[in-house]
Structure 1
Amino acid sequence: MKDNIINIHFLGAAGTVTGSKYLLDTGERKILIDCGLFQGLKELRLKNWEYLPIQVSEIDAVLLTHGHMDHTGYMPLLVKQGFRGPIYGTYPTLDIAEIILNDSAKIQEQEAERANKEGYSKHRPALPLYNLKDVEKTLPYFKGLPPSQWLPIVKGIRAKFQYSGHILGATTIELDVMDKRFVFSGDIGRVNDLLLYPPIRPKKANILFIESTYGGRTHPEEEEAMPKIAALATKTLQRGGSLFIPSFSVERAQLMMLILYRLLKEERIPKVGMVMDSPMGVDVLELFHKTRDWHRLNKEECDAMCSHFTIVSSFYETMQLQDDGKPKIVIAGSGMLTGGRMLNYLETQAQNPNNTLLFVGYQAEGTRGRKLLEGERELKVYGKEVPFKMEVVEIEGLSAHADHNELLDWLKDLESKPEHIFITHGESESAMALKEGIKEEYSWDAEIPELYMIRTINN
């Protein structure tokens, strides 16, 4: 290792929630932890079109904490820029990443085609960020690894992927480099999740990177959310409206299916048609059947749950359902309304005040979901401004992210004070709240890095 110095490049999720990318550079080896897309604010999304401020072809390997878009969605662009090394993750993470990347590329191609046809893009022609061929070129670099085992990544660096909840396959990544343990939290899941097991807490960390999505905020328990969902669904359906639930297709969609199935089974909501409209969500349901060690849901309940839903895969079915006028409950992507089939429903249903839009997950700054929660009453869909008259409700307690207290609790098994703590993956207020919480709880100092900052670690 050159001069026993390690440089950390914060290439994403610094000062923001999305775009997770951290480059660890020993001078001889370069490891990228996560490779996510920026989402939300336009100024961030524009960065997805820029080349990274590093020599991409020199990266030896990519390690993925989990499969969500803001942790994996930049990979086809990384390959386009010259990366040719292995991309490591748990087997469910790589399965989810493949599903998400293909779905993302398909949506981008369709939106570019529609924009060019209808002429609402200022770009001539409108182009996708990447396409299905780019994804196809990326997948051969995927290398699956088992969890909870130390494995050599490159010469002098070993890694262990530890269960973190959040979604199927999600992990914290521990890296031993020189004589130091680097711990990247990824996204930390809930302690009492209906679908997933509690995250494994790290025992040792010289250099710690911890997410702060919900810093300063606490969640009610998931069980506390169920009566609220039951009351909201009943009220909406009784007035002749439909309940629309934008949902992340990985884990959140399946959780909402489980909750609604249990409410229906217990006769706490009216009998009504229930729809899960997400090609990606259908693929993830299949993955739930194949990865029983990663979640709590048994085969019998999973089968029963699915039998109560109309599982939509074709876009033709979506077009029929969005116009049929019958009260129903619809779960569809995307969770922040950044794309996906929920936009097709809202294009025709947003003006009906009897309908309800229910948010059950985090809404990043600058997304359509965040704007509607903040009171915006027009929705831009496919170049058109659609008046928005639906009731908008947010029910907390269903997030896949640990809250403030759970983040602090995740640190409690550390044998000694880390040399450096970097607070990432959070908006400024959340990051600052977690920094203050760590100081108060443990008397440890932490740093909130800025985007593209380089931090030097001396061995």
Structure 2
Amino acid sequence: MNSIKIHFLGASGTVTGSKFYMETPELNLMIDCGMFQGLKELRQMNWEPLPIDTSKIDFVLLTHGHLDHTGYLPRLVQEGFKGKIIGTAPTLAITRIILLDSAKIHEEEAERANEEGYSSHHPALPFYTVKEAERAIALFRFEEKEEWTSISEHIRFKFRYNGHIIGATFIELEAFGKVFVFSGDIGREKDFLLAPPERPKWADYLFVESTYGNKLHPEENVEEIMIALVNETITQRGNLIIPSFAVERLQSLMYLLWQLYKKNKIPNIPIFIDSPMGNNVLSVFEQFPDWHKLSMTTYQSMCNHFNIISSYGDTWKTIDDPRPKIVIAGSGMVTGGRVLTYLKQLIDISTTTVLLVGYQAEGTRGRQLLDGAHEIKLFGKYYPVKAKIRHVESLSAHADQQGLLQWMENIRNMPEEVFLVHGEPTALDAFRSKIRDVKGWTAHIPKLKETKEFLV
């Protein structure tokens, strides 16, 4: 009998910071290595060293490239990790872009905080630097999806296609004859750009995300909503600002707006894409055509329709452009990126509309705007919110409760244990009840830093 321990070091009782550390008799693994985002007490936890010996980790397996699944990697290397970081090729391409962009933002924010004196830390330090991100990137190794990879005598894993974003997978990990399934983030059955997720057929131990564990995506007509917003923006000679996640959401919005124009459903309003990271992600779509549904001809035609901004100087030219326009800029939860510059200048104008497209975590500016905040803090100062705030939830890249249950429905056995992760408390609890009612399975909601032992 062998003992395997799993330490829940993130995405436990909360959505962000996915980190699951697995100790086995043969080697030690980490599944995902993300940053906490949102509430201040969560963000502060990013600065605390992990309660494990990181030098003993042999491999990090990545489900996908989002920051809340990869953003802690440079810190892991700082703390002594020297192993391999393994993902699919597009996941590693996305992770590289996100880590370098994140490091650059950390450096710029620390520099601005020191210049303007609005940080409580003296001096303010970046969470990690570009050089430290590059040290993590040097440890990348890709593996193909749908193929078993052995990493020790009794342990092997397989990446399986999961929708959500380009490169995303769930992980089937076989250890000493038992199958551990880590869902990562599960995509949707119907997506503009991506195929439906594959589904596991067996899981002795199942770790499943619960972001929308208590919700069904509304039956919204996204086309009609976008048409109305574009026409309203033109009529009022205003600005439609769309904070967007740079990976998949940005590309989906581009595809939607381009299709509406092609069908003559919206006029040729200027549309600016201001997300350096998003521009780099477009190149990943070009590099990995087998991972999405767009042909290269369609992809090129779509990109040619938009004004792609590369320099910060062009950001200011766009803000000063008096024409009615649409601006899609990072970041999706309004936590950083170029969108903050637009909001600083335009959030206090009544002809501005801010369209939120997707999940807004607790403690983020996006959630504050969604909840009706009358003012918003940007770069250490408060600005009144006079803009109209709109929300389209059905563009989310996450499966809703029904989609999560569909993803699990092909599992032929009754798992020995089910763990619900990557959700806020109300979503976790609702999903636990739903799983019990629909599947007859008892699910456990692990607490942060909880450790679970498995005898295999």
TM above 0.5, yes or no, is yes
Structure 1 match to 2:216? 218
Measured in 1, the distance between the counterparts of 2:308 and 2:256 equals: 16
Structure 2 match to 1:246? 243
| Partner residue of 1:350 out of 347, 352, 370 | 347
SS of 1:270's equivalent in the other structure is coil
SS of 1:191's equivalent in the other structure is coil
SS of 1:345's equivalent in the other structure is helix
| Partner residue of 1:307 out of 279, 285, 304 | 304
| Partner residue of 1:64 out of 59, 62, 65 | 62
SS of 1:176's equivalent in the other structure is strand
Structure 2 match to 1:106? 104
TM-fit CA distance, 1:327: 1.3
**What TM-score comes out, normalization by structure 1 length?**
0.98
Instruction: Report percent identity of matched pairs.
Output: 53
TM-fit CA distance, 1:269: 1.9
Structure 2 match to 1:206? 204
Partner deviation per Cα, 1:227-271 (whole Å, 9 max, x = no partner):
111112211221111111000000000000000111112222232
Partner deviation per Cα, 1:406-431 (whole Å, 9 max, x = no partner):
10011111111000000000001111
- Where does the alignment leave 5 or more consecutive residues of structure 2 unmatched? none
Residues 214/254 of structure 1: CA separation in 2 closer, same or farther (3 Å cut): same
1:34 aligns with 2:26: no
TM-fit CA distance, 1:198: 0.4
TM-fit CA distance, 1:220: 3.7
Structure 2 match to 1:438? 435
Asked if the contact 1:15–1:428 (Cα under 8 Å) also holds between the matched residues in 2, the reply is: yes
Output the aligned Cα RMSD.
1.0
User: Counterparts of 1:388-399 in structure 2 under 5 Å?
Assistant: 388-399=385-396
Letter in 2 for 1:442: K
Asked if the contact 2:173–2:179 (Cα under 8 Å) also holds between the matched residues in 1, the reply is: yes
Structure 1 match to 2:192? 194
TM-fit CA distance, 1:194: 1.1
Letter in 2 for 1:182: F
| Partner residue of 1:405 out of 399, 402, 405 | 402
**What TM-score comes out, normalization by structure 2 length?**
0.98
Structure 1 match to 2:264? 267
- Where does the alignment leave 5 or more consecutive residues of structure 1 unmatched? none
* 24-33 or 123-132: bigger deviation: 24-33
1:338 aligns with 2:335: yes
TM-fit CA distance, 1:324: 2.5
User: Counterparts of 1:357-376 in structure 2 under 5 Å?
Assistant: 357-376=354-373
Measured in 2, the distance between the counterparts of 1:390 and 1:268 equals: 25
Asked if the contact 1:247–1:331 (Cα under 8 Å) also holds between the matched residues in 2, the reply is: yes
SS of 1:24's equivalent in the other structure is strand
Letter in 2 for 1:298: S
1:291 aligns with 2:288: yes
Letter in 2 for 1:73: G
Measured in 2, the distance between the counterparts of 1:451 and 1:155 equals: 31
Structure 2 match to 1:156? 154
Measured in 2, the distance between the counterparts of 1:427 and 1:171 equals: 22
Residues 322/154 of structure 1: CA separation in 2 closer, same or farther (3 Å cut): farther
Partner deviation per Cα, 1:331-375 (whole Å, 9 max, x = no partner):
110000010000000010111111100011110000000011001
Asked if the contact 2:211–2:427 (Cα under 8 Å) also holds between the matched residues in 1, the reply is: yes
TM-fit CA distance, 1:64: 0.2
TM-fit CA distance, 1:77: 0.1
Measured in 2, the distance between the counterparts of 1:97 and 1:233 equals: 33
SS of 1:271's equivalent in the other structure is coil
TM-fit CA distance, 1:323: 2.5
Measured in 2, the distance between the counterparts of 1:391 and 1:196 equals: 31
Measured in 2, the distance between the counterparts of 1:257 and 1:63 equals: 31
Letter in 2 for 1:267: N
User: Counterparts of 1:377-392 in structure 2 under 5 Å?
Assistant: 377-392=374-389
Asked if the contact 1:168–1:295 (Cα under 8 Å) also holds between the matched residues in 2, the reply is: yes
Asked if the contact 2:6–2:453 (Cα under 8 Å) also holds between the matched residues in 1, the reply is: yes
SS of 1:346's equivalent in the other structure is helix
Structure 1 match to 2:144? 146
TM-fit CA distance, 1:221: 5.7
1:55 aligns with 2:70: no
Asked if the contact 2:233–2:325 (Cα under 8 Å) also holds between the matched residues in 1, the reply is: no
SS of 1:413's equivalent in the other structure is coil
* 292-301 or 169-178: bigger deviation: 292-301
Q: Aligned residue pairs: how many? A: 456
Measured in 2, the distance between the counterparts of 1:128 and 1:323 equals: 31
Structure 1 match to 2:276? 279
* 111-120 or 339-348: bigger deviation: 111-120
Runs (4+) off by over 4 Å: none
Asked if the contact 1:76–1:135 (Cα under 8 Å) also holds between the matched residues in 2, the reply is: yes
Measured in 1, the distance between the counterparts of 2:37 and 2:361 equals: 8
Structure 1 match to 2:128? 130
1:447 aligns with 2:444: yes
Asked if the contact 1:323–1:348 (Cα under 8 Å) also holds between the matched residues in 2, the reply is: no
Measured in 1, the distance between the counterparts of 2:154 and 2:251 equals: 40
Asked if the contact 2:26–2:152 (Cα under 8 Å) also holds between the matched residues in 1, the reply is: no
Structure 2 match to 1:318? 315
Measured in 1, the distance between the counterparts of 2:285 and 2:27 equals: 36
TM-fit CA distance, 1:10: 0.1
Structure 1 match to 2:425? 428
Measured in 1, the distance between the counterparts of 2:339 and 2:411 equals: 42
Measured in 2, the distance between the counterparts of 1:121 and 1:140 equals: 32
Letter in 2 for 1:199: P
* 198-207 or 300-309: bigger deviation: 300-309
Measured in 2, the distance between the counterparts of 1:146 and 1:221 equals: 36
Asked if the contact 2:359–2:393 (Cα under 8 Å) also holds between the matched residues in 1, the reply is: no
